[in-house]
Copies of this chain bind each other. A is one copy, B any other.
Amino acid sequence: MSALATAIYRGRERVPALDPADRGLAYGDGLFETLRVSAGRLPWWDAHLARLANGARRLGLPAPDAAWLAGEASALLAGAPAEAVLKLVLTRGSGGRGYSAPDAAVPTVVLSVHALPAPFDGPLSLRWCETRLAPQPRLAGLKHLNRLEQVLARAEWSDPAVHEGLMLDAAGRVTCATAANLFALVGGRWITPALHEAGVAGIARGWVLANEPGATEAELWPADVESAEALFLCNAVRGILPVGRLGQRTWAPHPALDDLRRRLRRDVPAF
């Protein structure tokens, strides 16, 4: 998606261009966040910043100052559509000898505003992806910049009638969609895969776990998903999206899902 506006920083200094020696490009040595802009504001800002800070800690990256970042994001959004997407990339910056990080890394921040993606028309139609997610506990849950598995999985289909693909880990457990988390209603309870070895701990996923009584993390196998009472995907740009089809299996709208979406919309009107 091409950006409506972009701002690049080395530390807190605005710079005209990305250094081609940036470790974000060289090694994917960084993190990103994709935030929904609604009515010109960022409803889940605190949750995104908390995830970014946690990821930075786990990768040993200096996290940018939250107040400074909020000011820069506001300035960039001032000229942007009221409904949009803000992308934030944080990298370890330039330099270092090979994989070894520089002693005093000056992080790079890239803020960019993008048009909202076109809404999906009706319930989602899903497929199973063949590309598996490799188990890597050091990176599991993080929204880091090493995303070739998702690129390969998304390249498995081009049929526009298929909206998303579900990915398994190497052991065959269901983990997530290429760009969303999954919840399955099993025995009247919303279950989402635990992310100890792979996957991204999404912000919308966190909202559901915090706000839906009984929603929990657990192992989910393909048979659990295919026999679920209802399914949805969620992410911070599109909110909660009911699944209507997975391969040959179909689902009718489910009242528990309608109720959950209503509560999300009450909390964040954009969704």
Contact = CB atoms under 8 A, between A and B. Distances in A.
Contacts of A6: 20-21
Nearest to A235: B98
Contacts of A153: 99
Contacts of A67: none
Nearest to A130: B138
B99 A145 contact: no
Interface in A184-200: none
B101 A151 contact: yes
Interface residues of A, number: 57
A131 B18 CA distance: 29
A139 B152 CA distance: 10
Interface string A138-160: 11000011111111111100000
B139 A136 contact: no
A33 interface: no
Nearest to A157: B100
Interface of A: 1-3, 6, 8, 16-18, 20-29, 32, 59-60, 89, 91-92, 94-101, 110, 112, 117, 131-132, 134-136, 138-139, 144-155, 170, 178-179
